[in-house]
C-alpha cells in the first residue's frame, strides 16, 4: 500500500465531524522511514480528528442539466494520519450514492481505486480550492433529472476505506421550476421539494389553512421587497415543516453565495392562542384603523413585534395546549429584517404558542435580530443551533413558561452579537402574571470576544424585569461582558425567593472587556451576582458554578467547528444535575453544555460563514 500526499494528486483534504470519530495521533513509532508512515501502526488515541474542512457549491438549487461546481478549504492542524478520501453525490430521496470519478454506485476513492487498491494520503492545507469544476480534480457535475434534495459529500476514511472518520456535507436541491408565493394562504397548501419556492412580501397562513413543507425543500426570501419577505403562521393557521437529518428544510436568502447578509429577509413567525402576561390597552406605537392612539390591545393578546397594526399579527389567549404546528430539521438563514428602530423580526419567533407545538432540530444562521425568541406561551424546544445572530440567541419575555434542552449558540469574532440568554418577565409590568418561568438545560453559548452589537451590557446570561426561571448545565464562554447578570431589584427579589435558580453554570474567558481572570470575581463582577453564584441568595438558588477551561475540541474554526469536549473535560465530571423525569427532558444529560457524546448537529446543519466562502 502506497502512502502519498494529496498535493501530488492536485487535491486537498476535507473533513466534518462524525459521531464515532477517533482521530490519529502520529508518533515516531509510526514512522517506517523518515517521512514515511506505516498506516497499520498509527495509534488512535484522541477523541476527535484534528483536520478541519468545509465545502460549498456555487448555489443551493439547480435545474436538471445545470452544472454544479464545488470548492473546499482544508486546515490540517498538524494531522499526519493517511486518510482515504471518497467523494459522492447522494440522492436523499432514494439513498443512492454515486461515487466520483466514475459516477458509479460502486464505492471508489477519489482516484477511482476500489477498496482493495486504495491509496491513503497525508492531507495538505488548501484554501478555497476547486474540487469539482474547471481546474479541479473532477469536471463540473451535470445535475440529473432526479428531483428533490441531494448531498455532495466528501468522506475521510481510515486506510482500509471501511471506517468513516469525517464527512463534509453540502445540501443542494434539483427542481423542476420556481414558484413565487405572495399574499395570504387561506387553504391547505404543500410546498414540494421538487420546486424552488420564492417568498415575495409578507405571507400570512390563516383561516384554518395548514402549510405543509416537504423534507428537503428550499424556500427563498427576497431582499428589497416592500414589505420584506416573511412567513407568518397566524393564530388561525398552522405549519407542518418536518424535515429529516438527511433532508432538512432550508429557508434562506435569495442572494448569491458570498454576498448574503443578516436581514436579507424577514424570517419565520408562529402565533398562537396560549397565555401571555400582557394587560390591555397598551399602545404599540403604530396607527390602526379606528385607533389613532396606537393599536391598543385587548387583555391577554398583543401584536407581535415587527408586524404591529395588522390583526393577523395578534397572539395570545387562554388555550395552553394550542398548536402552532410542527418544525423539525429546519434551517432559517440570513433573516431578521429591521422594519424600523426596535421593530424587527427574528429568525424564529414564537408568540403565544402552546404545548402541542413541536420545535426540534432548528438552526438560525446570521439573523439580524434574535436567533430564537419566545413571547409568552409555553411551547418546548429541543436541539437548537444558533450562529452569528446580531442580537440575542435565546430571548424570552411576556410570560414564557416552556422548556428548552440541547442547544449550541456561537458567535464568530468578525460577527458581533449581544447576549446568550436575555430573559424578561414584562417591560410593561414586572409583576405581570403568569411570570416568565422557563426551564433551560444543556446549552453551550460562545460569545465573539468583542463588545455587544448594540448593547453595552451583553453578558452570557442576562435576566431582568422580574423574570423567574431555572437554568441548568449551561456553559458561557468568550463574552466581552461578565458571565451572568441578575440585573435589577425586581429580578433579584425573585432570586431571593428561590424563583430564579441556576445550577451547573460553567463560566470561562468572559468579562474580556474587564480583563477578568477565570475566577468567580473575574467572571462575575456585580456584588449581588457574586453572592448569588456562591449560593448565598435564595436559599442556594445559585449552585455549582465552575470557572475552568472546558477543553472543547475546536470551537473557533467557524465554518467547521467541533464543539465536543475533549477527554477529561470538566463538562463531563460527576455531580452535575440530572434533568427532571417529566416526559420531555433527556435525563441522561448529566453534563454541562449542549453536546455530550452524541453530535446531534451532524449532516443537517450548515456552519458556513460568508467570509470563508467569498471569491
Answer whether residue 182 is part of any domain: no
Judge whether 234 lies within some domain: yes
Question: Which grid coordinates belong to 374?
Answer: 419566545
For 599, phi then psi, to 5°, come to -80, 85
What is the C-alpha separation between 26 and 403, in angstroms, rounded? 44
Q: Are residues 384 and 398 both part of a single domain?
A: yes
| Selection from 38, 42, 46, 41 nearest residue 17 by Cα | 46
Phi then psi dihedrals of residue 501, to 5 deg: -120, 150
407 forms beta bridges with: 384, 443
Q: What is the biggest distance separating any 2 CA atoms in the chain, rounded to whole angstroms?
A: 86
Please indicate, yes or no, whether residues 36 and 122 belong to a single structural domain of this protein: yes
pLDDT value of residue 34: 30
Give the residue carrying C-alpha cell 405549519. Answer: 239
- Domain endpoint, select from 174, 208, 232: 174
Same domain, 158 and 209: no
Domain membership flag for residue 402: yes
Q: Are residues 64 and 86 in the same domain?
A: yes
Q: What pLDDT was estimated at residue 285?
A: 60
**Are both 211 and 164 inside the same structural domain?**
no
Residues 268, 358, single domain; the answer is yes
611 within domain boundaries: yes
Residue 523: in which H helix or E strand, if any?
Answer: helix 520-523
Res 417: pLDDT: 82
Distance between CA atoms of residues 30 and 22, nearest Å: 17
Three-class SS of residue 587? coil
Q: Which of 380, 183, 403, 370 is nearest to 267 (CA)?
A: 370
Which one of 345, 376, 407 terminates a domain? Answer: 376
The answer to whether residue 181 sits within a structural domain is no
Q: Evaluate whether 114 touches 86 at the Cβ level (below 8 Å).
A: no
Of residues 185, 226, 190, the one with CA closest to residue 205: 185
pLDDT at 596: 94
Looking at the structure, tell me whether residues 515 and 606 fall in a common domain: yes
Grid cell at residue 551: 477543553
Is 179 part of any domain? Answer: no
pLDDT at 39: 36
CA distances from 393 to 56, 413, 558, 566 (A): 26, 16, 17, 25
Cα–Cα distance between 595 and 473 in angstroms, integer? Answer: 11
The 3-state DSSP class for residue 125 equals coil
Q: How many CA atoms lie within 13 A of 180 on its CB side?
A: 8
| Low-confidence stretches of the chain (pLDDT beneath 70) | 1-48, 225, 283-295, 308, 340-342
The confidence score (pLDDT) of residue 19 equals: 30
Count structural domains, the chain. Answer: 3
Q: Looking at the domain assignment, is residue 463 inside a domain?
A: yes
CATH at 62: 2.60.40.1930
Q: Do 326 and 422 reside in the same domain of the chain? A: no
Rg (CA), the chain: 25
pLDDT at position 298 is 87
Distance between CA 527 and CA 534 in Å, rounded? Answer: 11
Contact 386, 371 (CB under 8 A): yes
- Residue ranges making up the domain that contains 463: 380-615
Q: Are residues 126 and 153 in the same domain?
A: yes
Q: Is residue 452 part of a domain?
A: yes
Instruction: Report the pLDDT value the prediction gives residue 24, as an integer from 0 to 100.
Output: 34
For the chain, the straight-line distance linking the first and the last C-alpha, in angstroms and rounded, comes to: 38
Cα separation, 277 vs 299, in Å, equals 9
- Same domain for 423 and 522, yes or no, is yes
Is the domain of 297 the same as that of 442?
Answer: no
Domain boundary residue among 341, 376, 411? Answer: 376
- Asked whether residue 435 falls in the same domain as residue 492, the answer is yes
Residue 339 to residue 223: CA distance in whole angstroms: 12
Burial class (CB in 10 A: 0-12, 13-18, 19+), 171: buried
Instruction: List C-alpha distances in Å: 453 to 411, 420, 486.
Output: 11, 12, 21
380 close to 403: Cβ distance less than 8 angstroms: yes
Amino acid at each position: 500500500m502506497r502512502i502519498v500526499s494529496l498535493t501530488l494528486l492536485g487535491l486537498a483534504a476535507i473533513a466534518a465531524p462524525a459521531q464515532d470519530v477517533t482521530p490519529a495521533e502520529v508518533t515516531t513509532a509510526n514512522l517506517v522511514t523518515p517521512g514515511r508512515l506505516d498506516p497499520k501502526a498509527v495509534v488512535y488515541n484522541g477523541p476527535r480528528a484534528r483536520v478541519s474542512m468545509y465545502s460549498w457549491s456555487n448555489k443551493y438549487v439547480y435545474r436538471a442539466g445545470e452544472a454544479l461546481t464545488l470548492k473546499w478549504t482544508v486546515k490540517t492542524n498538524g494531522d499526519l494520519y493517511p486518510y482515504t478520501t471518497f467523494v459522492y453525490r447522494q440522492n436523499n430521496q432514494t439513498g443512492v450514492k454515486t461515487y466520483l470519478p466514475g459516477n458509479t454506485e460502486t464505492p471508489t476513492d477519489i482516484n477511482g481505486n476500489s477498496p482493495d487498491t486504495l491509496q491513503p494520503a497525508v492531507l495538505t492545507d488548501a484554501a478555497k480550492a476547486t474540487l469539482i469544476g474547471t481546474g479541479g480534480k473532477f469536471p463540473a457535475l451535470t445535475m440529473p433529472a432526479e428531483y428533490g434534495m441531494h448531498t455532495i459529500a466528501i468522506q475521510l476514511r481510515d486506510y482500509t476505506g471501511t471506517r468513516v472518520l469525517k464527512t463534509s456535507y453540502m445540501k443542494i436541491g434539483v427542481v423542476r421550476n420556481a414558484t413565487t408565493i405572495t399574499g395570504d394562504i387561506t387553504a391547505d397548501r404543500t410546498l414540494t421539494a421538487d420546486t424552488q419556492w420564492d417568498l415575495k412580501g409578507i405571507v400570512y397562513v390563516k383561516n384554518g389553512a395548514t402549510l405543509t413543507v416537504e423534507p428537503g425543500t428550499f424556500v427563498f426570501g427576497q431582499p428589497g421587497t416592500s414589505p420584506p419577505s416573511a412567513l407568518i403562521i397566524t393564530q388561525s393557521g398552522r405549519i407542518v415543516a418536518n424535515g429529516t437529518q438527511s433532508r432538512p428544510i432550508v429557508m434562506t436568502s435569495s442572494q448569491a453565495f458570498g454576498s448574503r447578509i443578516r436581514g436579507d429577509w424577514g424570517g419565520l413567525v408562529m402565533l398562537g392562542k396560549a397565555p401571555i402576561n400582557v394587560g390591555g390597552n397598551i399602545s404599540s406605537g403604530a396607527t390602526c384603523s379606528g385607533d389613532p392612539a396606537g393599536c391598543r390591545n385587548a387583555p391577554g393578546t398583543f401584536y407581535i413585534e415587527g408586524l404591529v397594526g395588522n390583526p393577523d399579527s395578534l397572539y395570545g389567549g387562554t388555550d395552553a395546549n394550542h398548536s402552532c404546528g410542527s418544525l423539525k430539521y429546519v434551517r432559517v438563514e440570513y433573516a431578521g429584517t429591521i422594519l424600523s428602530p426596535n421593530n424587527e423580526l427574528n429568525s424564529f419567533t414564537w408568540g403565544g404558542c402552546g404545548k402541542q407545538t413541536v420545535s426540534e432540530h432548528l438552526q438560525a444562521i446570521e439573523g439580524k435580530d434574535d436567533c430564537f425568541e419566545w413571547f409568552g406561551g409555553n411551547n418546548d424546544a429541543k436541539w437548537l443551533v444558533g450562529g452569528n445572530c446580531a442580537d440575542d440567541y435565546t430571548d424570552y419575555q411576556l410570560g414564557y413558561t416552556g422548556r428548552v434542552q440541547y442547544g449550541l449558540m456561537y458567535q464568530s469574532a468578525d460577527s458581533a452579537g449581544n447576549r446568550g440568554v436575555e430573559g424578561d418577565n414584562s417591560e410593561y409590568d414586572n409583576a405581570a402574571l403568569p411570570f416568565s418561568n422557563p426551564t433551560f438545560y444543556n446549552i453551550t453559548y460562545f460569545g465573539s470576544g468583542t463588545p455587544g452589537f448594540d448593547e453595552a451590557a451583553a453578558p452570557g446570561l442576562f435576566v431582568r424585569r422580574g423574570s423567574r426561571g431555572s437554568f441548568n448545565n449551561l456553559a458561557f464562554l468568550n463574552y466581552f461582558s461578565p458571565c451572568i447578570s441578575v440585573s435589577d431589584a425586581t429580578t433579584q427579589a425573585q432570586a431571593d425567593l428561590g424563583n430564579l435558580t441556576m445550577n451547573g453554570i460553567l463560566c470561562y474567558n468572559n468579562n474580556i472587556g474587564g480583563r477578568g481572570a477565570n475566577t468567580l470575581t473575574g467572571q462575575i463582577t456585580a456584588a449581588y451576582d457574586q453572592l448569588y453564584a456562591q449560593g448565598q441568595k435564595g436559599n442556594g438558588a445559585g449552585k455549582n458554578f465552575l470557572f475552568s477551561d472546558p477543553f472543547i475540541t475546536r470551537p473557533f474554526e467557524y465554518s467547521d467547528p467541533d464543539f465536543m469536549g475533549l477527554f477529561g473535560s470538566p463538562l463531563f465530571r460527576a455531580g452535575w444535575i440530572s434533568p427532571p423525569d417529566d416526559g420531555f427532558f433527556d435525563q441522561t444529560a448529566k453534563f454541562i453544555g449542549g453536546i455530550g457524546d452524541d453530535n446531534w448537529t451532524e449532516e443537517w446543519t450548515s456552519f458556513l460563514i460568508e467570509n470563508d466562502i467569498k471569491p
